[in-house]
Structure 1
Amino acid sequence: MRWWSVANLVSNTGTWMQLTVQNLLVLQITGSAAATGLSMSVQAAPALLMSLVGGAVVDRWPRKVTAAVSQLLLGAVAFATAVLVALDRLDMTSLLALAAVTGTIATVDAPACALLGNDLVPERDVPSAIGVGALVHSAGRLAGTALAGVTVAFVGTAAAYAANGLSFLFVASVVPFLRPVRAAAGREPAAADSGDLTVREGLVFFARRPRLVALAGITGISAVLGRNYGLTLAVLVTGPLAAGAGSFGTVSTVLAVGGILGAVLGARLHRPSVRMVGVLAALGALLQVAVGLSPSITVLLVLVLPMAVAESMSDTAGTAVLQTDPPAHLRGRVLGVWNGIGTVWGLTGPPALGLLMELAGARGALVAGGLLVAAVIGAGLVAARRRTVVTPVILPAEPGEVPDREALGTAA
């Protein structure tokens, strides 16, 4: 697990280097912010169409083989892009094609790597492993974003893509030496012996599992009406609070630190539940309301940290529920369903928030969005509690005692 975490830190750093450089590269080629958004959408689009198939592949093939092959393919795409950039042959068409290929491979790579990491620890430690993964992701994002600018300035854009390619090769080289705990102990069935491996089976399981549907609802409304702080807080800081881009950079750093702290705390949740996810998400939404009402940048920075901690803990707990609730032979397809749904949220959230900000401003969007998220989650938690029915236990009557007919009727 330590080797896997180191490999993922290297890989996440390389990935965020490439994502940062790619946005700058698109702006350099086209001079259009809309084209930058298009490149991001093209890379995300395959998840909407192919996630179910990718999840089925993960359930059918051995996870170590699947993860290693997908990492090698992603590395090949990164190296190909680096060569085109170095030769000055990369145009917008080829960049979009490579982004689409990357997104398609990721529909298999993401669930394969997530589930392989869980296999490296005993079942009781899976939430902790997921928390470590969230911590590694946040740290890699910080390091990759920072290194991107340095790499481009001193070595060039092609070097950032090449570095990402090397990071994928590093992960692929580590995979053969990993020893999955449950697979080694023989407690999980092989994928080929798990029965029906169709895409439909995973979709039906997800739809018929109330706690997974509830988890999707909590995460969905939080993603659409909150969480897009790169948009809402950027407008709030540079607009109503009259601060500069440097201040927004400070806010972004505090958000990242809060995400890391939340991941550390989330790793200590050994038995996360959907209710816990909802409570933490609602708390984050209420803190979002307070953030929207911040009178100064100082107050904003004080409130942003606990908000990020609560939301990161909610995300970590939700991921633990998602990855441990389904039976082992269905987890790839359930993650595929989840990734498809998450893509819808990712594509609809920014436009919805943008429209809300047009109507209510940055403060209004943060406040209204936070209140709606907290209200919907609160109503769901109350409704779930009311559906819990306690059935009375009727003790057998003593010899010669007449049973209480009213109690028997109530039990029936």
Structure 2
Amino acid sequence: MPSSSAASVPTPVSTPDSASVPPPTESASPWRSLRYRSMRWWSLANFVSNSGTWMQLTVQNLLVLKITGSAAATGLSISVQAAPALLVSLLGGAAVDRWPRKLTATVSQALLGTVAFVTAVLVACGRLDLPVLLALAAVTGLVATVDAPACALLGNDLVRPEDVPSAIGVGSLVHSAGRLTGTALAGVAVAVFGTAAAYAANGLSFLFVASVIPFLRPVPGAGRPAERRAPAVPAQRGTRAPAKEMTVREGLGFFMRRPRLVALAGITGLSAVFGRNYGLTLAVLVTGPLAGGAGAFGTVSTVLAVGGIIGAVLGARLRRPSVRLVCTLAAAGGLLQVVAGLSPSLAVLLVLVLPMAVVETVSDTAGTTVLQTDPPAHLRGRVLGVWGTISTAWGLGGPPALGLLMETAGARGALVAGGLIISGSVATGFVLRRRRAAAPVLLHTEVRDAVTSQPALSQAA
């Protein structure tokens, strides 16, 4: 499933038509990325792919339950598909940096389509058992470690750097539209053609994306060899010039030496564990202390979805977001979460849920933009590989940790404690950064005063 992200290794650059690359503009319109012809095609491909993916996801868990009769097996299939992202994302990112971007994305999409078609045939023939299901899940997860960064970085190549937030915001909206469409079509497809139809439709969606990619025209200089010779970020102490042999260690070392990326990883991790599992925390809060039912939580989920759409539009208006902005939004979201945890009624909670979702989505757009544009072009695949490993660890470890906190403190306590942890961590980080920034200034002033005072001292002697 394609998404919008950062850059790759030297690839042959197709010379774009002048009509496909509009002149630079200072516009803050959230739709400005759609001025690029290739981005319009890429957004359409994303919509088709997301629709197919959600058709499959809608029936997949029910299919696993039908085949195995075990909820544990359903969870196991999800874990097996996620495992490659945890273990080999670094290698996948390195492959994206090393291989031609468009070719890599085309091949990975075709492979994912092949897996979907094989699954559809096995389902139609009644030959899909648990071992085969787990093997297909593992293959899908392995291919995705290359496909996700390749498609993400390819999307960024289609627009100028200042329009990347718009591309990410549009991608978020396309994802939401694809989810709604795919979920609706899944029921129709299964009812008319059977469960295998959802997998076949997903396979076709992957092939559609693979057929569109060769015709995309990257913006000149977006993540290309010239950018390798003139990195987009200042040289760091200990940073070597890009080696001819691009290694995983080089990408990991850059990430660890880049304080803003480490800070982004830290605050995003805290938010992912303590602040974004609203499907769990708000479900327990609504059905427990607020004495609501499934319908009430459905209303909360709808408001969250609306807030996400609004946030995607607002986030797309950004031009050059920073880690400071991400941290500020995370702190604001944490404080809103604290108040939400203390909500006396469902009506008050609904008022708070909307800005919570807006802040979260804008923060996501800003953080993704920084992650995809901050590293030099030749390192972006490996940086996304590092991020893939980290985010998968959060995804696997976050829900159990939050569940343990909820068992200890309850739904209200978990929301309040999680929000305080997030906002408190941001405040502490700002204070420490300010102190570090002030220390060199003080030292410089002391040295200057000492030097200027030496002639007077010698005259006195």
TM superposition score normalised by structure 2: 0.82
Counterpart of 2:40 in structure 1 is 2
1:278/1:381 contact within 8 Å kept: no
**Aligned twin of 1:333:** 382
In structure 2, distance between residues paired with 1:40 and 1:55? 22
Match of 2:358 in 1: 309
- Is the contact made by 2:112 and 2:203 (CA closer than 8 Å) also made in structure 1? yes
The answer to whether residue 125 in structure 2 is matched with residue 77 in structure 1 is no
1:51-62 maps to which residues of 2 (within 5 A)?
Answer: 51-62=89-100
After the TM superposition, which segments of 4 or more aligned residues of structure 1 sit over 6 Å from their partners?
Answer: none
Q: What letter corresponds to residue 325 of structure 1 in structure 2?
A: D
CA distance in 1, matches of 2:453, 2:165: 48
User: Is structure 2 residue 453 aligned with structure 1 residue 405?
Assistant: yes
| 1:209 corresponding residue in structure 2 | 258
Change (3 A) 1:143 1:212: same
- Of 149, 159, 165, which aligns to 1:127? 165
Of 202, 210, 224 in structure 2, the residue corresponding to residue 164 of structure 1 is 202
State the match for 1:94 in structure 2: 132
Q: Which residue of 1 aligns with 2:5?
A: none
CA distance in 1, matches of 2:193, 2:319: 44
Choose from 251, 255, 270 the match for 2:304: 255
Deviation string for 1:66-97 (max 9, x for gaps)?
A: 00000000000011111111111112221111
Distance 2:197 2:122 in 1: 12
Where do 1:7-406 residues align within 5 Å?
Answer: 7-183=45-221, 187-189=226-228, 195-389=244-438, 391=441, 404-405=452-453
* Cα displacement (A) at 1:354: 1.0
**Compared with structure 1, are the counterparts of its residues 82 and 137 closer, same or farther at alpha carbon in structure 2 (3 Å cutoff)?**
same
Distance across 2 between alignment mates of 1:186 and 1:340: 27
Indicate the SS of the match to 1:45: helix
Q: Please, which runs of 5 or more residues in structure 1 have no aligned partner?
A: none
Q: Which amino acid aligns with 2:286?
A: V
Distance in 1, Cα, partners of 2:250 & 2:338: 40
Range with greater deviation from structure 2 (210-219 or 91-100): 91-100
Distance 1:404 1:162 in 2: 79
CA distance in 2, matches of 1:240, 1:33: 28
8 Å CA contact 1:55, 1:111 repeated in 2: yes
The SS at the match of 2:220 is helix
Q: Quick check: 1:142–1:256 contact (8 Å CA) kept in 2?
A: no
User: In 2, Cα distance between the equivalents of 1:194 and 1:264?
Assistant: 40
Q: Give the whole-Å Cα distance in 1 for the aligned partners of 2:362 and 2:421.
A: 20
Contact 2:228 2:376 in 1 (8 A): no
Tell me the secondary structure at the aligned position of residue 294 of structure 1. Answer: coil
Farther off after superposition, 320-329 or 352-361:
352-361
- Note closer, same or farther for the CA distance 1:302–1:4 as it changes in structure 2 (3 Å cut): same
Query: Are 1:11 and 1:164, in contact at CA under 8 Å, matched by a contact in 2?
Result: yes
Q: CA RMSD in A?
A: 2.3
Q: For 1:366 and 1:155, how far apart are their aligned partners in 2? A: 44
* In 2: Cα distance, 1:353 partner to 1:262 partner: 25
How far the C-alpha of 1:343 sits from its partner, in A, is: 0.5
C-alpha displacement of 1:243:
2.1
Distance 1:189 1:327, change over 3 A: closer
Distance of 2:321 and 2:140 partners within structure 1 = 33
Report how many residues are paired.
399
Aligned residues of 1:194 and 1:329 also touching (Cα < 8 A): no
Q: Quick one: which amino acid aligns to residue 312 of structure 2?
A: A
Q: In the superposition, relative to structure 1, how do residues 386 and 151 fare at CA in structure 2: closer, same or farther (>3 Å)?
A: farther
- Identity fraction in percent: 77
How far apart in 2 are the matches of 1:288 and 1:146? 31
> Retained in 2: the 8 A contact 1:15–1:164?
yes
Helix, strand or coil at the partner of 1:205: helix
Q: Could you list the per-position Cα deviations for residues 91-146 of structure 1 after superposition, in whole angstroms to 9, with x for gaps in the alignment?
A: 22211111111010000000000000000011221222222222222332333334
Q: How many angstroms apart in 2 are the aligned matches of 1:260 and 1:83?
A: 36
Q: Matched residue of 1:317: which SS?
A: helix
For 1:403 and 1:335, locate their aligned partners in 2 and report how far apart those are by CA, in whole Å: 48
